[in-house]
Structure 1
């Protein structure tokens, strides 16, 4: 999968992860893109380490599930980091 495929996958996975998680996460579409791509990479790494399945093809169900799962993990971590920063500045 090329870089354009990773960007599209990351943007969509990040948007789906934001829709799944309750509450309001900070950041616009650029942050969603970055967190989605990082989440897709994390999901691919976790999938290959635990299940022996990586992110290989754009239209594979396992690719999408791993990317969305990784994006959810990254978004949860992002929420913890930004939540602490906002509460400590008040």
Structure 2
């Protein structure tokens, strides 16, 4: 999420975590949504980089962060079942 800034990371992280929470039918609090969104953004950015997908700006960062957060919640759900 280059060029977004720390406030942008926080806003995008909260929104991405919230959207991922709704998609995965989970119920977390604001801080958990932030953590899931920011870690999801890192995960999504890593996966997008491996696939050669480039993104930019708020919308691209939000989409990648949300997809990463969904992947993160999915993986955590798999670990939780074991």
Fold similarity call, TM over 0.5:
yes
Question: Which runs of structure 2 are paired with 1:1-90 in the superposition (5 Å)?
Answer: 1-22=4-25, 24-25=26-27, 27-54=28-55, 56-58=56-58, 60=59, 62-84=60-82
Q: Please, which runs of 5 or more residues in structure 1 have no aligned partner? A: 85-90
Give 4+ residue runs of structure 1 displaced > 4 Å after superposition.
none
CA-based RMSD: 1.9
Deviations 1:8-48 (A, max 9, x none): 101000000011113x35x4221111011000111112112
Q: Is contact 2:48–2:54 with CA below 8 Å preserved after alignment?
A: yes
Whole-angstrom distance in 2 between the partners of 1:79 and 1:5: 28
Name the CA distance, whole Å, in 1 between partners of 2:40 and 2:54: 15
Q: TM-score, normalised by structure 2?
A: 0.79
| C-alpha distance in structure 2 between counterparts of 1:67 and 1:52, whole Å | 13
Q: Distance in 1 between matches of 2:76 and 2:32?
A: 10
* Residue segments in structure 2 that go unaligned for 5+ positions in a row: none
Cα displacement (A) at 1:80? 3.1
Count of aligned pairs: 79
What is the distance in 2 between the residues matched to 1:68 and 1:19? 11
